[in-house]
Structures are given as C-alpha cells and as structure tokens.
Amino acid sequence: MSPAIIELLVLAGIAIFLIMRLRNVLGTREGFEKPAVQEAPKAERPSFKVIEGGEDADILDNAEKGSAAAEALALMKQSDSSFTVNDFLAGSKYAYEMILMAFENGNIDDVRDFISEEIEDVFDQVIEDRRSRGLVIEAEYLGTRETRLMDATFDRDTGWAEIAVSFSAEMTSVVLDGDGKVIEGDSKQAKRQKDVWTFARDMSSSDPNWQLVATSE
C-alpha cells in the first residue's frame, strides 16, 4: 500500500473520530424540535422579614433602591399587607400567557375579567376584523424567557396602583386564509414576542384582581 493511501486512511479515521465526538457533545436533531425556553435565573437574596425602616428584599429584587417605582411598591405593601412584588410578577407571567393566547386564538371570553374595557374593545375589534376576512391564527406558546418589572405608580388619595411589566417570550404563529392556506408565519419557526403590559388595581377595594389596562412593545 502506498504512503499516500495510508495517509488518506489516517486522515479519514481522524475525521470520523471528530464527527462522532461532535455528535456526542451537540446531540442530533431530527425534524422540528421546540427550542428549550428557560426563564433567565434571578439572583437569590436571603429571605428576611422587613422591620420598620429596613430594606425590603422583595422590592429591591425588582426595583432600584430609592427610585419612584420602589417607593410606589412600598406604598402598595402598606396599603395591602398581603401584596408582594414577587407573587405579583409570578401571577402576571401566567396572565400574560393566558391573555395573549386567548387573543391569538380569537376567543377572549375566559379573560374578560382580567382586562379593562378599553383593552377588551380593542381586542374584540381586531378579532372581528380577522373573522370578517376569513383569517384564522394558529399559535402555540413555547415559554417565557424573562419577566421584569419596568415601572410602578401609586396614588395615595385613591389607592390606584399600576405596575408595568416587560415580557420576553417565544411562540409559533401562522395566519391561515379561508381555504386553510398559510399566508403568514411558519409553524416550525419560533419567534420572539416582546411586550410591555401595564396592570392596574384599586388597592382600596376588596377586589384583589389586577386588570390589564395598557399594552406596548
């Protein structure tokens, strides 16, 4: 056997070895797989109960110390002792998915109690416009990457509280015409969805529910 052939065989063996190592590290994919979506981990703070004048980790985990938002959150907690920022954000994350998917699927009946009349009117108009044109949206929520408090305000006189939350999520969405033909989107291609939603509540009321009152990108 000539030296040239031996050299080629050696190189081929090395190439096969490297490919097998690469497959072991990266794995293999067959067909479409949903991307693994994980919410960005939040640095943990030690849990402690706040004494008068002390720092509140529940607030400082989510708002800058001394900011107007932090002060508003502190007033909310004074107004309602059961309110915590972290619990609110966890609930808002669930509400975001539930309301967004109800809107995408064209039926918001189950979420009307969680949206203001203004938002309800806008959603109804958009859904009716789709229906009149024979369009259908098929969407699947893949997961939330990040939930972050953006701002908070509180009116001492009325007890009216508002909290703006930024959401970053992934989903698939396609638009179908009357014949079921895809005219927009790709069911196998995840897209990033980013929104800032503002939730409001009258904290002087016994009703603990927050409502979506504004949306923006």
Query: Which pTM was predicted?
Result: 0.74
Q: Are 202 and 83 in contact (CB under 8 A)?
A: no
> What does the pLDDT average to over 115-129?
97
Longest CA–CA span in the chain (Å) reads 94
**CATH code given to domain 37-216:** 3.10.450.240
Chain Cα centroid distance, residue 144: 4
Distance separating alpha carbons of residues 131 and 79, to the nearest angstrom: 44
Q: Could you identify the residue written with the tokens 């110390």?
A: 65
pLDDT tens digits for 24-47? 323 333 333 333 344 444 444 433
Distance separating alpha carbons of residues 19 and 166, to the nearest angstrom: 42
Q: Poorest-confidence range of 15-19, 80-84, 86-90, 166-170?
A: 15-19
Residue 75, both tokens: 């007033």
CA neighbor of 11 nearest in space, from 87, 189, 3, 40? 3
List, in sequence order, every beta strand (DSSP E) within 136-210. Answer: 136-154, 160-176, 182-185, 191-202
Q: Are 169 and 142 in contact (CB under 8 A)?
A: yes
Q: Could you identify the residue written with the tokens 């497959």?
A: 23
pLDDT tens digits for 158-187? 999 999 999 999 999 999 998 889 999 998
Q: Are 168 and 145 in contact (CB under 8 A)?
A: yes
> What does the pLDDT average to over 187-199?
95
Q: What is the mean pLDDT of the chain?
A: 82
